[in-house]
Chains A and B, each alone.
Chain A
Amino acid sequence: MPEQFYFALEVSLNGLMAGIMYALVALGFVLIFKASGIFNYAQGVLALFAALTLVGLQNGQIPFAHLINAVFGTSLHHFGWTLPAVVAIALTAVVMTGLAILIERYILKHLVNQEPIILFMATIGLAYFLEGLGDVMWGAEIKNLDVGLPQGISETIDEVTFNWFGYGFFIDRLDIVATLVAAALVISLMLFSQFTKYGRALRAVADDHQAALSVGISLRFIWVMVWSIAGIVALVAGIMWGSKSGVQFSLSLIALKALPVLMLGGFTSIPGAIVGGLIIGMGEKLFEFFIGPMIGGATENWFAYVLALIFLVFRPQGLFGERIIERV
């Protein structure tokens, strides 16, 4: 077979892998939208904040050191110890849970029964606040994130495909890890929602807030729970993306890659986020490969949205979204 075919295949595989990375971000959006109807504009910033916190804890950085030094004239920077990656990840998950409690207590609780647009705007405010908080807390410089994830070409796949096709495929080992983590995450979330008491409560709230309240389910608890899970999903996304580029404030922009995934997969479906990510990832890479050179390249950002819009024309609720029927 011609090398061009194998290259297209390689591009497709890498597109699927990139799609998984987008889906990791999209999952957080889906969880919160499903449980509360809120489109969480701050999801990308949550990933940034989680990654900043992880690196800060891992390196033993003193939070708010710049502020403390400026106010008290001290020169504090680090505690003098470092933490193993696993411990730092666990502690960051605790921080994200604490953040979820604070968000519920100081923002969401006061906005119960408000219009979705009000809640959306609250998350815009939250995004800017968290970005500033992350800056003051951990500093704005680029940080290295090293939790021991492998990176670089997978030798095995390169060798095997070369032996089979005479063309060695490039697959990044980080993308393979991301795929496995995403699979584990989706299975865990589905098992949680299907087979646990709190998961069923979550589904009940997602189906009908009023009915869930009437049978004694605490809406506040569910919101805290779902924001905690979204925070932990954001931590996973932050680790994967931060491993590629270092932890820096542009990490919050990964949310832009998740939007077309959500439009395509539906805002309320966890499998939809994965399938949407795969379609967007592969679609944008193949478009860039076949059409990009004819029109000057750099098509990926906008083509993802075009693809999502095409799907929207035929399925406004997305591939796996719930069809909304309102009777008058």
Chain B
Amino acid sequence: MTFRLAAPAAAMLAAALATAAPAPAQDLHFPSLSYRTGPFGAGGIPFADGYSDYLTLMNERDGGIGGVPIRQTECETAYNTEKGVECYEAIKGDSPLILQPLSTGITYQLIPRVTADGIPLHTMGYGRTSAKNGAVFSHIFNYPANYWDGASIAIKHLLDINGGDLSGKKIALVYHNSAYGKEPIRTLEELSEKHGYALSLLPVDSPGQEQKSQWLQIRRDKPDYVLMWGWGVMNPVAIQEAANIRFPMENFIGVWWSGSENDVLPAGAGAHGYKSLAMHGTGMDYPVYADMKQYVIDAGKAAGAGDQVGSVLYSRGMYAAMLAVEAARKAQEIHGTAEITPAMMRDGMEALEITEERMAEIGLPNFGPAFAVSCENHGGPGRGLVQQWDATAKQWNLITDWIESDLEVIDALVAEDSAAYAAEAGITPGCN
């Protein structure tokens, strides 16, 4: 009797389980956690437009990725951590292949969630730096470079222009008083011990519209160089204040989040000579834009008004989408199916290899660094460029070749911080 009841029950259970198993994807879901409104919208819009336009190009020109169309959805976070988490909760059940929140605050909140839910998170040049260690952060990727790479690249550039010697120099860090702005401090402190410069720290409260105190202090202390970790309105105000006190602009270097047109244009001619780090090329001198124009912009399918195309943050959004698409291709290749799941996408990201040949095929030659991702290294090569603003031509010019970060210092810090996180979160580090 018991057996006779148990058999159909088991059959029903098996049928139910089969029904509950994820259905094959009919499309590839690429959500965008964007911010087009609020105080940081001016930076969020071009990034979101670049991200969306590249994915639209894939659909319009190639019919998607591997023949499967891309489905784009967008959720407005307003650069607000709580809203970002709400967006995540709303879309996590819809097989999002990859998340890119463009916010360090949101990233920190999502790290445990995406890890538990098996959804990959890509924080390109932002987020938790030690996520570079894939043995601890299995679902978090921050290639091609992170904040600590940025700090080191800035110092290496200063070493280059000072004949390799920074001893006795004074360097001030003007930073957004938040988790984001504080990220480079430890690295800069370590590097100051190594290279013998004196570091002073000048925090600016968000949003950063009033910075008179900080710049009066800089005027008094006369540092040789000022580094900036800013975002939003903090950047143009800082550049204007630097121009006001006649700080030599060529000695003022921002991280890549302080190096868009939005940051320098308000200061007009005063911003001439300002430098910033870059993790990719910019401008429209890349073959991909011919297709972008034909299939997306002229076809009226662009996400924005089209006036941001080729700008720094548009290029960054496009680069982020390009890396996501390449990871999806890799996932399709290694799993032998075009209809990939978030878990497969994670595998694709971990096996991603970007070569200069592939970049040229895509239409972005010399746009970004060549690199390969592995379980041990989710952060890529940690290379960056330095660009300088020409206020007359209103354009950024790259003034260096790729600069490698000081991995001897960075990797030790990554190992230390990721080990602390692993202990705190109860994670046993390891690569399969």
Q: Measuring CB to CB, which residues of chain A are less than 8 angstroms from any residue of chain B?
A: 7, 10-11, 14-15, 17-18, 21, 65-66, 69, 73, 77, 131-132, 135, 139-142, 144-146, 151-153, 170, 172, 241, 244-246, 248-254, 257, 285, 288-289, 292, 296-298, 300-302
Question: In the docked arrangement, what's the CA distance between A172 and B216, Å?
Answer: 11
| B240→A140 contact, CB < 8 A | no
| B37→A142 contact, CB < 8 A | no
Chain A residues with CB under 8 Å of B244's CB are: 151-153, 170, 172
Known: A14-B212, A144-B265, A248-B42. A135 touches B37 (CB 8 A): yes
| B216→A11 contact, CB < 8 A | yes
Q: Is B68 an interface residue (CB 8 A)?
A: no
| A73→B207 contact, CB < 8 A | no
| B305→A69 contact, CB < 8 A | yes
Q: Is B210 an interface residue (CB 8 A)?
A: yes
Question: In the docked arrangement, what's the CA distance between A244 and B243, Å?
Answer: 11
| A285→B212 contact, CB < 8 A | yes
The stretch that binds A, out of B9-17, B157-165, B231-239, B347-355, is: B231-239
Question: In the docked arrangement, what's the CA distance between A15 and B212, Å?
Answer: 8
Give, as a whole number of angstroms, the nearest-CB distance from A256 to chain B.
9
- Sample (27) of A-B pairs whose CB atoms are under 8 Å apart: A11-B216, A14-B212, A17-B212, A66-B305, A73-B300, A77-B307, A132-B37, A139-B305, A141-B308, A142-B236, A142-B262, A144-B265, A151-B244, A152-B243, A153-B245, A244-B209, A244-B240, A245-B237, A246-B233, A246-B266, A248-B39, A250-B39, A253-B207, A254-B209, A288-B213, A296-B203, A300-B210
Q: Measuring CB to CB, which residues of chain B are less than 8 angstroms from any residue of chain A?
A: 36-42, 45-46, 177, 201-205, 207, 209-210, 212-213, 216-217, 219-220, 232-233, 236-237, 240, 243-246, 262, 265-266, 268, 270, 300, 305, 307-308
Chain B residues with CB under 8 Å of A153's CB are: 244-246
| B233→A297 contact, CB < 8 A | no
In chain A, what residue has the closest Cβ to B213?
A: A288
Known contacts A66-B305, A145-B266, A285-B213; 15 additional CB pairs below 8 A are A69-B305, A140-B45, A141-B45, A142-B265, A151-B243, A152-B244, A153-B246, A170-B216, A170-B219, A170-B244, A241-B209, A244-B237, A248-B262, A250-B207, A297-B203
| B216→A14 contact, CB < 8 A | yes
| A152→B209 contact, CB < 8 A | no
Give, as a whole number of angstroms, the nearest-CB distance from A247 to chain B.
8
Chain B residues with CB under 8 Å of A253's CB are: 39, 207, 209
Question: In the docked arrangement, what's the CA distance between A301 and B232, Å?
Answer: 17
| B205→A245 contact, CB < 8 A | no
Known: A249-B38, A249-B39, A249-B41. A10 touches B212 (CB 8 A): no
In the complex, the 5 A-B pairs of residues with the closest C-beta atoms, listed nearest first: A246-B266, A250-B39, A298-B203, A298-B177, A250-B233
| A301→B205 contact, CB < 8 A | yes
| A142→B266 contact, CB < 8 A | yes
Give, as a whole number of angstroms, the nearest-CB distance from A18 to chain B.
6
Question: In the docked arrangement, what's the CA distance between A304 and B246, Å?
Answer: 28
